[in-house]
Amino acid sequence: MQFKKLLLVFILSFNMVSVAQSPLDVAFVLSERAVNKVFTAIGEINGTSSYEVLGIISGNYHWKIINPKINFKPDSSDFTCDAKIEVGPFSYKSQVIGNVKINYNDQKNLIEIKISKAVFEIYTMVLKKKIHIKDIHLEDYFKEPFTFEGPKSLTTDMTFTMPDSTIKKIYVQPTQCQMKVVKQAIRVTCDIATQDTPFKNQLIVAPPIQSNQKPDSIKN
């Protein structure tokens, strides 16, 4: 499965808010709603392949997922969707509940959201008996995590006029960031570093790129 490259820029997905009574200086919030807009940008996710059961029955099956969504929860975030499956003339729907891993890479300044497991079954019915064909592992179609640029890139500067009329510029940048998953959001809280010279920005930000290996034939 190939996705168009998505540069998930921090400015489009974060809101900067002050944090009252916090040991850190500021917090940045990535909403569940913003992350799920990625699926809208990806488009339809589906697959088609051939099958054979009992050595005598063969044909093609087709599946597509509907309403994919990542759900942020403090204890265990998850991925949900409905899978619509057609196996020859037989069709059905399955609810899929998968696991999601969330990580903040402080060195790369990236929030990484990865679907680690999401499985549904392809089967058919023969003489009122359920015949298993294969399991579809949706995590194979999301090998690379969704990545969002973190708050450290938001370096800003402030200009002050000193008593002697000289101009002094102060540079401000988030530092020492910590991530916490709350209901429907990811919060990254940071201290603020200030200095009178520009910060050296050595961050390398790359968009998520889907592996070219296709576990099943698929159309975008």
Output the six-digit token pair for 209.
């790129």
pLDDT confidence of residue 107: 84
**What's the average pLDDT block by block, 10 residues per block, for the chain (220 residues)?**
35 38 71 90 90 86 94 93 93 95 89 95 90 94 89 81 87 85 91 82 40 42
pLDDT confidence of residue 21: 41
Q: Which amino acid is at 137?
A: H
Q: Quick check: is 212 in a domain?
A: no
Q: Quick check: is 207 in a domain?
A: no
Output the six-digit token pair for 181.
């998953």
Q: Quick check: is 52 in a domain?
A: yes
Q: Quick check: is 219 in a domain?
A: no
User: CA dihedral defined by 55, 57, 59, 62, rounded to 10 degrees?
Assistant: -100
Q: Supply the pTM of this predicted model.
A: 0.72
Q: Quick check: is 104 in a domain?
A: yes
* DSSP bridge pairs for 58: 52
User: CA dihedral defined by 64, 67, 70, 71, rounded to 10 degrees?
Assistant: -140
Of 45, 96, 35, 46, whose CA–CA distance to 70 is shortest?
35
Which 8-state DSSP code applies to residue 200? P
pLDDT confidence of residue 23: 54
Of 46, 36, 5, 34, whose CA–CA distance to 138 is shortest?
46
Determine contact, residues 190/25, Cβ cutoff 8 Å.
yes
Q: How many domains does the chain have?
A: 1
Q: Quick check: is 217 in a domain?
A: no
Q: Report the SS3 class of residue 10.
A: helix
pLDDT confidence of residue 211: 33
Distance CA 65, CA 163 (A): 65
Q: Quick check: is 28 in a domain?
A: yes
pLDDT confidence of residue 24: 65
pLDDT confidence of residue 61: 94
Determine contact, residues 124/53, Cβ cutoff 8 Å.
yes
Of 174, 179, 176, 181, whose CA–CA distance to 151 is shortest?
174
Q: Quick check: is 54 in a domain?
A: yes
Domain that holds residue 124: 10-201
